[in-house]
């Protein structure tokens, strides 16, 4: 069995991360979640505290952590806190994923069931590769990128920090998706997307700029 693991966030994504962690032999000892009572069990795993307990140096000093929050900014902030506190962020990859031995995966990144990461792709820290998504050869994901279920990135695609790709989207080869950009569900992206833009449709066109991430739960 691998090391003990604490999952931060016990919502829908947290339960998915728990499944992936158990299947890949992590010893999941609990969730941290500010919205649920200590002792309450989520799929058999107890809530063992709120998120702020990570600041206590005596709190499970040997455990790894993974941030299971879909919200991009929260995931980035809490991942940064964990690292600043000298704690380890785990890579959790469901065993059904196919990951090239020539691909790189950053700490804190989660790969849910059925993902494929092909040769020489580089995935940054605390990204989410959701169910059955594919990153083809030489793709680059900066930190915090979220790839929704069923997304396909062709070869040499680049996604900037905290970019969000909605479910079922397809990105053509060599396309560059800007930092914090949002690609709508089902879109076909044929040209570069600027930082902070929201694009959708086939071919994907700009809906409007998003200086702050609006309606964050909607994505
Ligand atoms: C693109 C997206 C972020 C836009 O959300 P929004 O800013 O709230 O946009 P609205 O719902 O107000 O729609 C604005 C316009 O864009 C269109 N639109 C929205 N999403 C679209 C999509 N995915 N494809 C095509 N057009 C879309 C709407 O029809 C609307 O057009 P109109 O002005 O002509 O009526 C959102 O629709 C989306 O696709 N999110 C991805 C969700 C997802 O994949 N979640 C996965 C969770 S694991």
Could you read off the pLDDT of 145-169 as tens digits, one per residue?
999 999 999 999 999 999 999 999 9
Catalytic residue numbers, as ranges: 137
Per-residue pLDDT reduced to its tens digit, 65-107: 999 999 999 999 999 999 999 999 999 999 999 999 999 999 9
Please report, in angstroms and rounded to a whole number, the separation of the first and last CA atoms in the chain. 35
Please, is 39 exposed, middle or buried when counting C-beta atoms within 10 Å of its C-beta (0-12, 13-18, 19+)?
A: exposed
Identify the pLDDT of residue 210.
57
Contact criterion met (CB below 8 Å) for 182 and 167: no
pLDDT at 172 over 90: yes
Percent of the chain beyond pLDDT 90? 89
Q: Is 218 helix (H, G, I), strand (E, B) or coil?
A: helix
Mean pLDDT of 99-124: 98
Which one has a higher pLDDT value, 60 or 64? 64
Rounded to the nearest angstrom, the distance between the alpha carbon of 185 and the centre of ligand 1 is 7
Identify the pLDDT of residue 121.
98
Nearest protein Cα to ligand 1, atom 9: 207
Distances (CA, A) of 38 to 4, 34, 50, 55, 101: 19, 9, 8, 17, 40
Identify the pLDDT of residue 60.
87
**Integer Cα distance of 147 and 167 in angstroms:** 8
Q: Of the residues 128, 184, 199, which should be mutated to test ligand 1's pocket, given the most ligand atoms within 8 Å of the CB?
A: 184
Reading the block at residue 165, the tokens are 């790709």
**Integer Cα distance of 11 and 66 in angstroms:** 13
pLDDT at 129 over 90: yes
Residues lining ligand 1, CB < 6 A? 130, 148-149, 166-167, 182, 184-187, 198, 200-201, 207, 215, 218-219
**Integer Cα distance of 79 and 41 in angstroms:** 24
Per-residue pLDDT reduced to its tens digit, 174-219: 999 999 999 999 999 999 999 999 999 999 999 965 545 555 434 4
Contact criterion met (CB below 8 Å) for 72 and 54: no
**Integer Cα distance of 166 and 193 in angstroms:** 14
Contact criterion met (CB below 8 Å) for 127 and 143: yes
Identify the pLDDT of residue 216.
47
Q: Torsion angle, CA of 74/80/85/89, rounded to 10 degrees?
A: 90
Confidence band, pLDDT 50/70/90 cuts, at residue 17: very high
Q: Is 207 helix (H, G, I), strand (E, B) or coil?
A: strand
pLDDT at 10 over 90: yes
Rounded to the nearest angstrom, the distance between the alpha carbon of 215 and the centre of ligand 1 is 11
pLDDT at 119 over 50: yes
Identify the pLDDT of residue 131.
98
Confidence band, pLDDT 50/70/90 cuts, at residue 13: very high
């Amino acid at each position: 069995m691998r090391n003990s693991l604490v999952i931060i966030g016990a919502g829908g994504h947290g339960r998915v991360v728990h499944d992936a962690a158990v299947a890949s032999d992590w010893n999941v000892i609990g969730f941290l979640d500010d919205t649920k009572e200590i002792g309450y069990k989520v799929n058999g795993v107890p809530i063992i505290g709120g998120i702020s307990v990570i600041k206590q140096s005596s709190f499970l000093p040997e455990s790894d952590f993974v941030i299971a929050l879909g919200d991009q900014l929260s995931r980035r902030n809490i991942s940064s806190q964990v690292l600043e506190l000298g704690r380890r962020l785990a890579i959790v990859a469901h065993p059904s994923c196919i990951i090239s031995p020539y691909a790189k995966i950053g700490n804190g990144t989660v790969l849910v069931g059925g993902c494929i990461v092909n040769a020489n792709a580089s995935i940054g820290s605390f990204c989410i590769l959701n169910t059955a998504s594919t990153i083809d050869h030489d793709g680059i994901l900066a930190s915090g990128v979220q790839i929704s279920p069923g997304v396909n990135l062709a070869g040499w695609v680049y996604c900037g920090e905290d970019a969000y790709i909605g479910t079922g989207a397809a990105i053509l080869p060599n396309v560059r998706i800007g930092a914090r950009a949002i690609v709508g569900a089902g879109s076909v992206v044929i040209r570069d997307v600027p930082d902070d833009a929201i694009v959708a449709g086939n071919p994907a066109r700009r809906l409007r700029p998003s200086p702050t991430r609006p309606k964050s739960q909607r994505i």
